[in-house]
Structure 1
């Protein structure tokens, strides 16, 4: 419950900053033009603000190293033998629970051409809950622990789940905020593994 408050507080601060900037640029007059137009402009500005620091498709993935649940270190950055799906998640996240079976299926199906790393943002979670989640959903791929939220920040994470698709060349192909249907996820993975 506490972690939800922090996330909500952060989003409210960002929204307040966007509104402050918009009002400071004379956007107060937008209310005269209609409420819809003002809300649309504020929403667009918030989206732009949130995405401003995010790694973009076509750019190299930020480099990092993290330990998994067993203490083994995994490194990301630069060229790889296989494409990579980075899945940022938390055990209390309902959409993460919904997509977990699909991740397991895709990891098995594409194991020859795809690595899947489940990056638990442990700062917002509890290790016992992480271990239970992994056991309940049968994760067989590495579960990395982002204990200080440093890696999630590198990817400008704003919501769980966030999936980052990285090619064998180490270049980000796509950043997906929120879950996808199994069909849509597979279509993106086919494209990723065939490139």
Structure 2
């Protein structure tokens, strides 16, 4: 009798866990625009705020810098190779990087502190990413941007100001609308 009760408790716990995972994934499927994410210091990142400055290198050793005025608008895409919404969004980001290359830069930032670099490198090859991808090995840049979910897209205008922070994957149509608004194209 005790074995049956233990089995029933284990099955119930498994059902609750699976339900929680499905619910979290379902909630994360909807992109959410975040007007401002407050920092503990009372400052913040969000619409109208300067993008926190950082420099990261890609696998070839090229350094990319964010912060301050730029020649083009920018999307910083924080992602991880295990993230299903990141996989769905990668081809769309790739297409937009090519289509809007004259007015927009896209920087992919793999949050390697929450990933496995060889898997991230496979992800880059699999999706043949046409934009620079850097590795945030310690998660410091993701932390500076108060990152919470994958993917997180930070839209930055030519003046270096954040126009929007989007949590979750964007469809091609949503992404293109945001790019047109960001670049004026």
Smaller-chain TM-score bracket: 0.7 to 0.9
Give the aligned length: 147
Moved over 2 A (4+): none
The question of 1:135 aligning with 2:125 is answered: yes
Considering fraction of residues, name the structure with more strand. 2
Q: TM-score, normalised by structure 2?
A: 0.77
Q: Which residue does the alignment assign to 2:37?
A: 51
Aligned match for 2:151, one of 156, 161, 184:
161
Structure 1: distance between partners of 2:97 and 2:68: 21
Considering fraction of residues, name the structure with more helix. 1
Q: TM-score, normalised by structure 1?
A: 0.73
The question of 1:146 aligning with 2:132 is answered: no
Indicate the SS of the match to 1:55. Answer: strand
Aligned match for 1:179, one of 146, 151, 169:
169
Aligned match for 2:58, one of 68, 72, 78:
68
In the alignment, structure 2 segments of 5+ residues that lack a partner are 1-33
Structure 2: distance between partners of 1:118 and 1:155: 14
The structure with higher relative contact order (CA 8 Å, sep 6+) is 2
The alpha carbon displacement at 1:71 in A equals 1.2
Indicate the SS of the match to 2:143. Answer: helix
Residues 134-161 of structure 1, C-alpha deviation per residue, up to 9 Å, x if partnerless?
Answer: 0100102110110110000111000000
Q: Which residue does the alignment assign to 1:120?
A: 110
